[in-house]
Amino acid sequence: MTATGTSAAPAVGWIGLGDQGLPMARAIAESGFPLHAWARRPVSLDGLSGVPHIRHNGITDLAAESDIVALCVGTDDDVLRVAEQLLDGLRPGAVVVNHGTGLPSAAVRLTEVCATAGVGVLDAPVSGGRPAAEEHRLTTMVGGPLPVAERCEKVFASFSRHVVHLGPAGAGQTAKLFNNALLMLNQAAIVDIVDLATQLKLNVPQLVDVLKRGSASSAALTLLNTMVTPDTVEHLSAVEALDMELFDQAMSEAGIACAAVTARGLTGARGLPGLLGRLNP
């Protein structure tokens, strides 16, 4: 028995109710875990209407009631800032989980900071976007101590189709950065093919549609005009470029040269709006 739940249903605190975080939090509550939530803007909590949850006025109050606190916030600096506030309320043995994308070195730093209070840490970024979150089919890539990951696995499974433990602190972030980099490299390849098809005066939308059905298919292809739409493409392109820069920094910190890969990935990220424009003439 934990202080606020049972071993089968630990109390889960959630901070970060954005495009992806909200459906993840709802999935946790729908799976029967006691859900505690705080938001910088209280109106964001209205997104949890219809599922059981307890709203908190402060981060420390949420921490005091939670066995696991999951963060789905912007940057590594945001994560560290929130975690430092959580430590004022978390009990030894609690767990902080970062579901955002960041640097492996930042995951190690967060682990070190929380260890001073006896609090465990997992870096557990997710892949799939809002549609996968809503359908509980995200892929969750976990870094951190295996016993801690096993304690959180059922929580992760509430919104995931795949939960994979990849190694110590930072391993989840490394996998997520490789995942994102490969997506952008594939986008760059699609831009090349579309350029050639355009020169041949082919029907590009029809060509891409058939490529999605053949052995050339990839997530980069299938996301076009599904998750990547005229309404979202500019935002997604900018986010991808930032992720590619994180990838480059992570490789640099590891002493690995990757300038060519970074440049190619940025081509894929920045070329996304033009690519989608060709598919929607």
Cα–Cα dist 25/76, whole Å: 20
| Location of structure tokens 């260890």 | 115
Identify whether the C-beta of residue 17 lies closer than 8 Å to the C-beta of residue 45.
Answer: yes
C-alpha span between 63 and 245 (Å, rounded): 32
Determine which one of 154, 176, 201, 212 is catalytic. 176
Residue 253: is it exposed, middle or buried by C-beta count within 10 angstroms (0-12/13-18/19+)? Answer: exposed
**176 is annotated as an active-site residue:** yes
Cα–Cα distance measured from residue 103 to residue 114, given in angstroms and rounded to the nearest whole number: 17
Looking up tokens 């709203």, which residue turns up? 55
Task: Please answer whether residues 232 and 207 qualify as being in contact, where contact means their C-beta atoms are separated by less than 8 angstroms.
Answer: no
Six token digits for residue 169: 């602190």
Residue 15 forms beta bridges with which residues?
38, 71
Cβ proximity of 23 and 133 under 8 Å? yes
Active site members: 176
